[in-house]
Structure 1
């Protein structure tokens, strides 16, 4: 069916504007962390927020108050988990994982590459985008918890102790 009547369109328009306003207010109240660069946990929350907003807009069975509560609950849970992850290391590891070193002192760590499901070509592409033409020019390549690859150039090489927090699985 193409048209169910003006009442349905009017409801979608009014509830949509109000639900969107509620979501924006809740996101602003929850702080910048909610809108920061996403890891897997943040992506899940974002998808859930979008799905909830769509349900509020399109389902007559969900009242605006119920939808606002659902949005608030998702944002509160995200806030609570990130608050805990700053204070409890085990929560942080559970929610975001840990960075993983894929290349160290010009040597690709094949076990770590396999574990992370990252190809050598992807590491080489990250090196090229950082202006390096060869793996020997890199001190380290790290798979960050948000899925991005960080390249530490040999010339900018930090002390090995500053990379200590990065798990070096797969060496050898």
Structure 2
């Protein structure tokens, strides 16, 4: 269980280093979008790349070339999906979810929360994390397509009074 042969050690170090360099090169070529977390498909690619790297490192039956081919395939598929979502509206709607409004002007939108499986506590946590001290400082909370919660804060009352005074 704790044994490692010199050959397997050398293989892991050599293949691991080369696979890592190959992955970095592929990621640089494919662009920033590949590792973004804009939607579920982006997350899947990120996890799959890590899983593939792990498999290449530890499975001696796989060659370095097979691992690099798997990296390339994942990146090409990611490119095709993002290309399709940009060029065809129907495809974009098929693969991506829409942002959902969960809180607006002091009211929790219970039906949207239930549909998205979000609790009041999670929304309150997002409001606090945004720097707002209370729900009165937040105008809206939106569940974004990547699963994050965006808090839209209301303007400070002093600033609103200054705008009214200047008119």
TM-score range relative to shorter protein: 0.7 to 0.9
| Distance in 2 (alpha carbons) for counterparts of 1:9 and 1:134 | 55
SS in 2 for 1:97: coil
**Structure 2 contact 37–43 (Cα < 8 Å) conserved:** no
SS in 2 for 1:142: strand
- Of stretches 7-16 and 133-142 in structure 1, the one that deviates more from structure 2 is 133-142
| Distance in 1 (alpha carbons) for counterparts of 2:134 and 2:2 | 58
| 1:38, distance to aligned residue in structure 2 (A) | 4.6
SS in 2 for 1:103: strand
User: 2:165 is matched with which residue?
Assistant: none
SS in 2 for 1:145: coil
| 1:2, distance to aligned residue in structure 2 (A) | 2.6
**Structure 1 contact 99–145 (Cα < 8 Å) conserved:** yes
Q: Report 1:142-161 matches (<5 A).
A: 142-155=142-155
User: 1:162 is matched with which residue?
Assistant: none
| 1:145, distance to aligned residue in structure 2 (A) | 0.8
| Distance in 2 (alpha carbons) for counterparts of 1:71 and 1:36 | 16
**Structure 1 contact 107–136 (Cα < 8 Å) conserved:** no
Taking a change above 3 Å as real, the CA distance of residues 122 and 4 of structure 1, as seen in their structure-2 partners, is closer
SS in 2 for 1:25: helix
| Distance in 1 (alpha carbons) for counterparts of 2:133 and 2:4 | 60
| Distance in 1 (alpha carbons) for counterparts of 2:135 and 2:111 | 17
TM-score by length of 1: 0.83
SS in 2 for 1:101: strand
Show structure 1 runs of 5+ residues with no match: 157-172
Q: Report 1:30-45 matches (<5 A).
A: 30-45=30-45
User: 2:11 is matched with which residue?
Assistant: 11
User: 2:119 is matched with which residue?
Assistant: 119
| Distance in 2 (alpha carbons) for counterparts of 1:134 and 1:4 | 56
**Structure 2 contact 123–141 (Cα < 8 Å) conserved:** yes
User: 2:77 is matched with which residue?
Assistant: 77
Q: Aligned-pair RMSD on alpha carbons?
A: 1.7
| 1:12, distance to aligned residue in structure 2 (A) | 1.1
SS in 2 for 1:10: helix
Show structure 2 runs of 5+ residues with no match: 157-167
